[in-house]
Chain A
Amino acid sequence: QKEVEQNSGPLSVPEGAIASLNCTYSDRGSQSFFWYRQYSGKSPELIMFIYSNGDKEDGRFTAQLNKASQYVSLLIRDSQPSDSATYLCAVKGYSTLTFGKGTMLLVSP
C-alpha cells in the first residue's frame, strides 16, 4: 500500500510570513509529485508539480524534492489570507496518483 503522509494541521501563519508544508511518501520508485490547493467546498486545483531533486519556483510558491529522504515540501512566501485552504500532496505511481490527506493552512491578517 503506497502511503503519502501529511500533517493535518491546521498550520497557522501570520500574513506576510512563509508557510512550509511537508509531505513524505513510502514508494521509493515514485517519480512525480504534485501540490494541489483545495478551498472549502471546492475541487482541488493544481498549484505545481516537481519531478527532479531540488527546488522549483513559481511566483510565491516553491516546491522542494528530496528523493533520497522521500520528502517533498511546498513553501509559500508572503502568505496571504487568500492562501488559507487545504493543501494536498499527490505522488504519481505507475498510472495513478496517491493523495495525502492534506494540510489545512490558515493565514491570519
Chain B
Amino acid sequence: KNEVEQSPQNLTAQEGEFITINCSYSVGISALHWLQQHPGGGIVSLFMLSSGKKKHGRLIATINIQEKHSSLHITASHPRDSAVYICAPRAQKLVFGQGTRLTINP
C-alpha cells in the first residue's frame, strides 16, 4: 500500500525555472515534513507544516489538510537545488514518500 504518493518521481529543469513537487497522502496526520537529501548525504528538514503555507528563501511549502495534499515550490531554481525531495507526513511516526529526484541544469 502507498500511504504517500509524490509526483513527479523525476524532474529535470533549466536553471531559473519554477519547480513544483506534489504530495498526496492517505493517513491522518498532525504535521507534514518536506525533506531534502543530497547524493550520499544525510537528510535535511526543509519545512514542517500543519496548515497553510510556509516560505523560506526560494522555497515555499503549502498544505491542504482537508484534501490531504501538499506542494513544495522552488522559485528561480539553481543547480545547487538538485537533490531528492521527500514528503513525509507525520502520524505517530513519519511516513516517507518515495522522493522526487530533481535535477537543475545550468
Chain B associates with chain A: no
Give the interface of A toward B (CB within 8 A). none
Give the interface of B toward A (CB within 8 A). none
